[in-house]
Homo-oligomer: A and B are copies of this chain.
Amino acid sequence: MDDDRFKGRFLGVLGGMGPMAGAAFMTRLIALTPGECDQQHVPVILWSDPRVPDRPAGHAGQGVDPLPWMQNGVNHLVQAGAQAIVIPCNTAHLWYEPLAAESGVPILHIVQAVIDDLRRQGVDRGHVGVMGTATTLKSGLYQRALEAQGYECITPAGVRLEQCCADSIHLVKTNCLDQAYAPAAEVVTELRRRGADAVVLGCTELPLAIPHARRAGLGIAMTDSIDALALAALEWYRHSEE
């Protein structure tokens, strides 16, 4: 079990929130890895426990606290050999500080990954539209970080747009990916009309609602929190030492 041959820089993925976002992270991590054979890919352990209590309800104090569940997952990943961790769930990052304080290994922050991806796309200032769960948006998770780094934020304020975000996320969670596109695209279009130079898909269900092939048609730079996190993980893997 402790044979040196098997050691390596394993990435730990705390998935399950929701399960499809964790699987999509795996798919994109692999698709974004340059390589000609299996052996060039990043070793990964995915802990996908979809029983983690609902994050928005927990954050509102109206449900079971999800933090111990997430800590349990992080502990299992570290014990199994993960040397860095990613969490492909934006709302879960509301518990980033207590998770990172106890993990013992770095947790790559999804919001910083998104901001790095904006810069990678040449968007280094201006107005950024942020989409996500109502909980993520109300918490200011993205807005604080974006404003601290020189951006101005536009959120999908208003009952209709908030409902569109929520509907799209719910449709992805119920495996209705085709139907999830229209409400998400409506929000992107409205954020663009309000002056956004780029849009952040700040919930890991949203990149599944607006698949890559349909993005160019929306006519605005878009950063996808799944791809951004996968690119951050690949950077970590390239630059870390065993």
Contacts and interface: CB of A to CB of B under 8 A. Distances in A.
Contacts of A76: 1, 45, 80-81
A73 B80 CA distance: 10
23 contacts: A1-B72, A1-B75, A8-B49, A18-B41, A19-B26, A19-B30, A19-B33, A19-B41, A20-B30, A20-B31, A23-B23, A23-B26, A26-B48, A27-B27, A37-B173, A39-B50, A40-B50, A43-B50, A44-B46, A45-B48, A45-B76, A47-B80, A79-B80
A44 B38 contact: no
A173 B44 CA distance: 17
A173 B36 CA distance: 7
Interface of A: 1, 3, 5-6, 8, 10, 16-20, 22-24, 26-27, 29-31, 33, 35-54, 68-69, 72, 75-76, 79-81, 173-175
B24 A43 contact: no
Contacts of A44: 16, 19, 46, 48
Contact of A51 (B29, B43, B173): B43
A44 B47 CA distance: 6
A15 to B, nearest CB: 8
B31 A175 contact: yes
A38 B52 contact: yes
A206 to B, nearest CB: 16
